[in-house]
């Protein structure tokens, strides 16, 4: 968890550190990321890094969380079990990623970091159908980000699966 010390930094310094984290984790998997590159780019001391974050994983979770908040902001939220709403939310998320400064980070996450973080089991949904639809949407997002050329086919597959669940 990012420290309160970080929260009290000047906004410009926070922005420099966030950009250094984004650059590092967009270009390097967590397994090969280096504090040295982050602190050099951010213009901070190595000890300061450890005042702000417990370790590289903590810093990664911080910047990835910011990315998810930013990309999810304003997305349509499926209400009920409507296939069209889930498909629209998935398309909107993919568009948000494509147009986001976090695009490389999110792709790197699915390529190298997601399994390493051991996030645990999926959340229970309000209903089995909502859980299944959400799981299918997240898998489709992952697959499209890993293989962008398959987006049309994967979104069509998702639409078919969601329609069958609805019907």
Rounded Cα–Cα distance for residues 105 and 103 (Å): 5
Residues of the chain where predicted confidence (pLDDT) is lower than 50: none
Domains, the chain, in order of start with CATH, read 4-70 (1.10.357.10), 76-166 (no CATH)
In sequence order, what are the residues at sequence separation of 6 or more whose Cβ sits closer than 8 angstroms to the Cβ of residue 57? 30, 117
In sequence order, what are the residues at sequence separation of 6 or more whose Cβ sits closer than 8 angstroms to the Cβ of residue 14? 6
Rounded Cα–Cα distance for residues 115 and 8 (Å): 32
| pLDDT of 167 | 65
In sequence order, what are the residues at sequence separation of 6 or more whose Cβ sits closer than 8 angstroms to the Cβ of residue 73? none
pTM (predicted TM-score): 0.86
| pLDDT of 128 | 85
| pLDDT of 75 | 77
Region of 120 on the Ramachandran plot (φ > 0 left; ψ -120 to 50 alpha; else beta): left
| pLDDT of 81 | 67
| pLDDT of 80 | 64
């Amino acid at each position: 968890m990012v420290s309160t010390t970080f929260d009290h930094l000047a906004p410009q310094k926070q922005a420099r550190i966030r950009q250094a984290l984004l650059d590092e984790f967009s270009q390097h998997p967590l397994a090969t990321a280096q504090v040295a590159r982050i602190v050099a780019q951010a213009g901070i001391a190595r000890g300061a890094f450890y005042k702000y974050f417990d370790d590289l994983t903590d810093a990664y979770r911080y910047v990835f969380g910011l990315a998810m908040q930013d990309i999810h902001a304003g997305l349509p939220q499926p209400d009920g079990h409507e296939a069209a709403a889930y498909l629209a939310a998935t398309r909107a998320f993919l568009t948000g990623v494509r147009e986001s400064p976090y695009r490389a980070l999110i792709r790197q996450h699915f390529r190298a970091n997601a399994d390493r973080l051991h996030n645990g089991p999926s959340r229970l949904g309000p209903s089995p159908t909502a859980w299944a639809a959400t799981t299918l949407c997240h898998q489709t997002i992952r697959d499209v980000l890993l293989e962008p050329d398959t987006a049309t086919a994967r979104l069509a597959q998702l639409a078919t699966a969601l329609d069958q669940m609805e019907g």
